[in-house]
Amino acid sequence: MADDERPTSEPSREGRVALVTGVTGGIGRAVTRGLLDAGYAVVGTVRDRSRASTAELDPGRTGRLVLVEADMTDTERLHAVAEAAADPFGPVDVLLPIAGVGDVRALDEISPEDWERTLRVNLTAPFVLAQALLPGMVERGWGRIVFTSSVAAFTGGFVGPHYAASKAGLHGLVHALSARAAAHGVTVNAIAPALIADTAMIDGMPSSVPTPPVGRLGRPDEVAQLTLAVLGNAYLTGQVLLLEGGSRPS
């Protein structure tokens, strides 16, 4: 396709299908609602299907949300989720791996099991899903992948080196995958939030962590707004976008 013929923005969100992991978390819930409001169909993963409500996540009763149970540490299950995600609505156009773990640990408190679990959930699971879904996006000539990183990947953060390392690894994925997919209409980016209210991460935040210069914590809906903007931009790829209230000026 010639440069002047290639679309510069998303032509229509109606009918686009997104696979979102961790839809019951603060950010996952806000992103899911934002996608549904924008016209996407969503296949969302939860840890326990019996404790998740489609009605709560889709108050508008759009009928465009299906929940599936998945353990982010179970690679075999993730392959099955990726394969079956097209069943309800059609091929997956958008991958948003939001599910994550971040137990606060000092260096000498991190066990091999802590390290392994954190990397499996925060880095391996997004990779496995991208590996499964990116080829189809490339074949169809359109797709979006947005990983959920953290400002900790730049600063080390307060959670611990296991968490910071897992999030920094996503940046390598962004650069490697975006370079291979860009010419096929597929963009790959990451959003790196910090200090977002109504998330499990905030529950473990030490009192010594300063409030961002904007004077408050971020909101999950602000992460959702940025996510939707990234999905709608066909020229933005290979980037990690900070969303941190000015706490780490570039």
Model's pTM, two decimal places? 0.92
Q: What is the pLDDT of residues 159-200, one digit of tens each?
A: 999 999 999 999 999 999 999 999 999 999 999 999 999 888
Q: What is the pLDDT of residues 109-119, one digit of tens each?
A: 999 999 999 99
Q: What is the pLDDT of residue 249?
A: 67
Q: In the structure encoding, which two tokens stand for residue 248, read together? A: 């780490």
CA distance 129 to 110: 27
- Where do the domains of the chain lie? 17-243
Q: Order the strands of the 17-21 sheet from edge to edge.
A: 65-69, 41-46, 17-21, 94-97, 143-148, 186-193, 240-243
Q: What is the pLDDT of residues 10-63, one digit of tens each?
A: 545 668 999 999 999 999 999 999 999 999 999 999 998 777 888 889 988 889
> Among 3-7, 77-81, 148-152, which is the least confidently predicted range?
3-7
Clarify whether 40 is annotated catalytic.
no
User: Is the pLDDT at 84 greater than 80, yes or no?
Assistant: yes
Which one is the CATH code of 17-243: 3.40.50.720, 3.40.640.10, 3.40.50.880, 3.40.50.300? 3.40.50.720
Catalytic one of 125, 163, 191, 201? 163
Helices 112-119 & 161-181 angle (0-180, nearest 10): 30
